[in-house]
Structure 1
């Protein structure tokens, strides 16, 4: 089995990681307008806030450092700034919402739960193409996948709060 693809997820062991509130509701609302310069959201209260480099849910958000690296591999990706605010303490943290290409690259060997969520992810490398970073095409879940070159580059840097897990792929 080749290990050419890695799932990019948030490391949930980090206590106090920034957690945005109301993201999905805002994006679904009639007010959500792609032409706005930036988004802004409140964060969940925490005693000590940790600025992680990748926030997985409710939508993938990344730090400026991670965005800069990803831009080197995917210069055509579009990003929208998102301010995460702690009104109580008067703090604001800047993140980026990326428009990852959605790629239908699941192999027939992939398995699903009865509710349609993924049970076993298997990527067909021929369908995945040469995207350094992409989102699996799935109506129910957001899975961000990176290729080996980008994964290695991420691991060489001191990012906080992200995890890379190998993804099974067809031979």
Structure 2
């Protein structure tokens, strides 16, 4: 495996997870290709939204600031605009649903975790050659991973609610 360093980009666990507070349109839940170029998502009644750089579940949404930083370095990643409406707070929060490339996890049973955080994933390292930021489907979630240069540019922005930590990507065998 190359000496390239990779980092997980995730929602800061010290903050409330927002995804469970949101009601997504059914077409969005069917997948990126089924959604329109701009979507509106509402908070569920009785729930408040705390704005952060990432909403991870059930759909990975990134803040406009995070999207702009990634797009500046990688302009070819397509995205759709998502407005999250919090009617109780009378607020709007702007996110992007970016169509990050997927790299498969080749051995989910060999994934190493510590305190619920993934430390090592087995992937096809050939698929990583040109990819600067990507998602790895892992059971019912997606792990967003970036090369060191992308992670550093995001850290310089001090994006609220974004946690950046190292991950090991290990060569897996295709089955």
1:162 Cα deviation after fit? 1.1
Question: Over the residues paired in the alignment, what is the CA RMSD in angstroms?
Answer: 3.0
Which whole-Å deviations, capped at 9, do the CAs of 1:57-108 have from their partners, x for residues lacking one? 111111111111100222111111111111123221111111111123x466
1:119 Cα deviation after fit? 8.8
SS in 2 for 1:9: strand
Which whole-Å deviations, capped at 9, do the CAs of 1:20-79 have from their partners, x for residues lacking one? 5233744246xx843x33111112513xx4311111111111111111110022211111
Q: Which residue of 1 aligns with 2:115?
A: none
Are the counterparts in 2 of residues 81 and 96 from structure 1 also a CA contact under 8 Å? yes
Greater alpha carbon shift after TM alignment, 65-74 vs 119-128: 119-128
Matches of 1:83 and 1:41, distance apart in 2: 6
- Structure holding more strand per residue: 2
Matches of 1:130 and 1:99, distance apart in 2: 16
Aligned length: 160
Matches of 2:68 and 2:119, distance apart in 1: 32
Q: Which residue of 1 aligns with 2:6?
A: 5
- Does structure 1 residue 103 correspond to structure 2 residue 116? no
- Structure holding more helix per residue: 2
Q: Which residue of 2 aligns with 1:90?
A: 90
1:167 Cα deviation after fit? 1.3
SS in 2 for 1:167: strand
Are the counterparts in 1 of residues 120 and 170 from structure 2 also a CA contact under 8 Å? no
For structure 1, which runs of at least 5 residues remain unmatched after alignment? none
Matches of 1:144 and 1:107, distance apart in 2: 16
With structure 1 as the length reference, what TM-score do the two structures score?
A: 0.77
Q: Which residue of 2 aligns with 1:59?
A: 59
Structure 1 residues 14, 25: CA separation in 2 closer, same or farther (over 3 Å shift)? same
Are the counterparts in 1 of residues 120 and 169 from structure 2 also a CA contact under 8 Å? no
With structure 2 as the length reference, what TM-score do the two structures score?
A: 0.75
Are the counterparts in 2 of residues 112 and 120 from structure 1 also a CA contact under 8 Å? yes
1:130 Cα deviation after fit? 2.1
Q: Which residue of 2 aligns with 1:68?
A: 68
SS in 2 for 1:170: strand
